Chains A and B, each alone.
Chain A
Amino acid sequence: MMAQTQIQTESTPVLEVRGLTQRFGGLKAVNDFNVKLMPGELSGLIGPNGAGKTTVFNLVSGFYQPTEGEILICGVKTARLKPHKVTALGVARTFQNIRLWNDMTVLDNIKVAQHSQLGYGFFHSVARSKTYMKREAEIEQEAFELLEVFDLKDFASDFPKNLPYGTQRKLEIARALSVHPQLLLLDEPAAGLNSNDAKDLIRLIRWIHDTFDVTIWMIEHHMDVMMELATQIKVIDFGETIADGNPEHIRNHPAVITAYLGDDNI
């Protein structure tokens, strides 16, 4: 199994976001967003189209620098860190539209995601030093193990572009786990899947959550997936947090119903 480096204590949240605000010119995409994810949590973020969900993910993964507010990952502030540094802190994510490296083999896709833990540099790779040989063997073995548990081993030398859509989604999640994350951000993992595939996905996510000892935060439009999996759900609309709570609470929350279905006073 994968060697997880779980060092933080139970009390430090994996992710803590305080007063996060993001402006794009005059548009407030996210306004005063707060969240605290404890280790081992599986929670969700929902909202109508354009609510700012992906912006929150882009901020957390360091892709945007927030206008205001701060983000802490395992207690470390991520302000002004480059995305690859944030990832090295233990945040991995998938994308709404699959972004695999299509002309690299499935195995290489998994291997490259371990870039922050390589432990060797250019001269080691050219000299084929002992460190290089050792690390490369370890990385390869780890990648194979990951492919094995994800049932993707048969595709190891295939190119992702030739795989079916559902398998590509699975591969993207596997690649994200190859980073050894503490926090896994899933951006609409069920997008484009039919209800059967979505059921498989629910099983997969639950299994990942149990096996890899990872905190999962996901955006999803399929409500059945979300209600089934998440223990805590946050709802945002036009950048504002409108509801927060367990699935049952969210399902009956008047503001959520208004945001999704509109007001009945015409």
Chain B
Amino acid sequence: MKQYSLNMLLVVFAIGLLFAAHFRIIDGYIQIVFMTIGINIMMSTSLNLVNGNMGEFTCGHAAFMCVGAYISSLLSVFCFGTKFGEPLLPAASVVIVFPIIVLIGGAFAAVSSLLVSIPSFKTRDDYLAIISIAVNYMIISAIENMDFVGGSRGFQGMKDTVWAMVDLFDGPWMLFWVINFTVFTVWVIRRFISSTYGQGVNAICQDEVAAEIMSVNTNKIKIINFMVAAGLAGCAGGLYAHIIGYVNPQSFNILKSTEALVMVYLGGMGSLSGAVISAILFTGLLEVLRSQAIVDGLLSPITFMFPDWEPSAGVIKWVMIPLLLVIVMQFRSEGIMGNRELGDVFPKLKKFYRFK
């Protein structure tokens, strides 16, 4: 019972969400919010693998999302779109082929992570952070200069794939895939990091020299860890591209990487449940602060004093969220969960679930 409680809860929640979306109980906007939450969970948990568990500081995670987004968009347009001529595959196969396309995007992103992981053999900390920023710029600039994917104008046509799915069965397909891939991400990371093999990542974080001397193949573990993180980010990118139906290299710039960083540090480094919680909170907050009425309400004591000032929600949310980060770092620098999992913070919860 205890073994399956979490899985059952997840299944019930997923089915409930899909039904609600299918029968239009929740509208398209709410669906987009849920999908964004899923993608952000994938981004923050995968970045947490590098920045939290391995203790390296990389801030170019969006680069891998970009690789995944472009590769899977291209494949998807080749297979089901009309942009490059006739679709290669019959539209009926889309349901099977789509997750494979996303995973291939992830695989390419994983390979591109070698650009960061190979320098990481010799460099650490600030220097690796600079390398990761450089890689982020490299990948974006490379794509901007590729004319056949639209360059800086961006690339579209992936919606053909989504419509092909809708033609087969009229349902909330993208929501379905996002839920599946989010669960897949958390599942892979949890299993990897809780094995003795994955504990090598934590050993590298705490004392790399001791890890190497105690028979941990640090270079291999680093490559694998970066590959897993980048691969999952690539999957997130592929899904993101298909939700929006349009990708642009500039939407994966350093700002996007920073968003992922913010989620990791808000949640607590090295805490998987922290990364999930902070992704939900962060996305929710972004959406809530999008409402002008709420922002006006929150700022009413200030606007009362300065009646001429009319803050716009779109701008002010980028003041409030960084401010939240400043406050969290000041008073709880270890983040919401702080290197602990949900079960460690609330031991009573352990009675009800087991998460392996």
Assess the A84–B216 pair: CB atoms within 8 A.
yes
Q: Write out the residue numbers on chain B whose beta carbons fall within 8 Å of the beta carbon of A234.
A: none
8 Å CB interface, B226-273 against A: 228
Cβ contacts under 8 Å, B224 to chain A: 122
A5 to chain B, nearest CB (A): 14
A125 to B219, CA, bound (A): 18
Whether B212 lies near A112 (C-beta < 8 A) is no
Q: Given the known inter-chain contacts A101-B206, A108-B199, A120-B197, please indicate yes or no for A115 contacting B228, CB distance below 8 A.
A: no
Shortest Cβ gap from A69 to chain B (Å): 21
A126 touches B188 (CB 8 A): yes
For A97-126 the 0/1 string (1 means CB < 8 A from B) is 001111110001001111111101110111
B194-217, CB < 8 A from A: 195-200, 202-203, 206-207, 209-217
- Whether, in the assembled complex, A145 has its beta carbon less than 8 Å from a beta carbon of chain B, the answer is no
Contacts of B198 in A (CB 8 A): 125
Of A63, A95, A112, the contact of B199 (CB 8 Å cutoff): A112
Rounded to whole Å, the gap between the CB of A80 and the closest CB of chain B is: 14
Q: Which of B188, B195, B202 has the most CB of A within 10 A?
A: B195
Contacts of A124 in B (CB 8 A): 197
**Chain A residues within an 8 Å CB radius of B191:** 125-126, 128
Q: How far is the CA of A115 from the CA of B213 in the complex (A)?
A: 11
The bracket for how many chain B residues form the interface is: 20 to 34
Q: Min CB distance, B323 to chain A, in Å?
A: 30
Report Cα–Cα, A103/B210, bound state, in Å: 14
Q: Assuming the A-B contacts A84-B215, A126-B191, are A118 and B197 also in contact, with contact meaning beta carbons closer than 8 angstroms in the complex? A: yes
* Known A103-B339, A122-B224; contact A92-B214, beta-carbon cutoff 8 A: yes
- A101-B206, A102-B206, A112-B203 given; A136·B195 CB < 8 A: yes
B216: nearest residue on chain A (CB-CB)?
A: A115
Which A residue's beta carbon lies closest to that of B190?
A: A126
Residues of B within 8 A of A93 (CB): 213
| B218 adjacent to chain A (CB < 8 Å) | yes
* Chain A residues within 8 Å of B218, by CB: 84
A101 to B206, CA, bound (A): 6
Residues of chain B contacted by A111 (CB below 8 angstroms):
196, 199
The distance from the CB of A140 to the nearest CB of chain B, in whole angstroms, is 8
Residue A83 lies at the interface, judged by CB distance under 8 Å to chain B: yes
Name the residue of chain A whose CB is nearest to the CB of B191.
Answer: A126
B215 pairs with A125, CB closer than 8 A: no
Query: How many Å from the CB of B18 to the closest CB on chain A?
Result: 26
Q: Interface of chain B, helix or strand or loop or mixed?
A: helix
Are A112 and B196 in touch, CB under 8 angstroms? Answer: yes
A63 near B213 with CB under 8 A, answer yes
CA distance in complex: A175, B195 (Å)? 18
Q: How far is the CA of A22 from the CA of B219 in the complex (A)?
A: 25
Please report the C-alpha to C-alpha distance between residue A139 and residue B200 in the assembled complex, in whole angstroms.
Answer: 14
Contact indicator B202/A104 (Cβ below 8 Å): yes
Contacting residues, chain A, for B196 (C-beta < 8 A): 108, 111-112, 114-115, 118, 136, 139
Q: Are A115 and B202 in contact (CB-based, < 8 A)?
A: no
Most chain-A CB neighbours within 10 Å: which of B192, B198, B207, B210?
B210
| A115 partner, pick from B207, B209, B215, beta carbons under 8 A | B215
A101 — which chain B residues lie within 8 A by C-beta?
Answer: 202-203, 206-207, 210-211
A92 to B197 alpha-carbon distance, docked (Å): 19
Q: Are A84 and B210 in contact (CB under 8 A)?
A: no
CB within 8 Å for A83 and B202 given contacts A101-B207, A115-B197: no
Can you list, as one digit per residue, whether each of A148-180 has a CB less than 8 Å from chain B (1) or not (0)?
000000000000000000000000000110010
Of the listed residues A84, A113, A114, A117, the one surrounded by the most CB atoms of chain B closer than 10 A to its CB is A84
A124 to B191, CA, bound (A): 10
> Are A84 and B209 in touch, CB under 8 angstroms?
no
- Chain B residues whose C-beta falls within 8 Å of the C-beta of A121 in the assembled complex: 197
With A84-B212, A88-B215 as given contacts, are A122 and B199 in contact (CB-CB < 8 Å)?
Answer: no
A-B contact pairs, 12 of them (CB 8 A): A61-B213, A63-B209, A82-B212, A101-B211, A103-B202, A113-B215, A115-B196, A122-B192, A128-B191, A136-B195, A176-B214, A179-B214
Which 10 pairs, one residue from A and one from B, show the smallest C-beta to C-beta distance? Answer: A125-B195, A116-B215, A87-B215, A99-B210, A101-B206, A113-B214, A115-B216, A83-B212, A115-B215, A111-B196
Q: A63-B213, A112-B216, A120-B197 are in contact. List 20 more A-B contacts (CB 8 A).
A: A63-B209, A84-B215, A84-B218, A88-B215, A92-B214, A99-B209, A101-B203, A101-B210, A103-B206, A104-B202, A104-B206, A112-B202, A114-B196, A114-B215, A115-B197, A115-B200, A115-B215, A115-B217, A125-B197, A132-B195
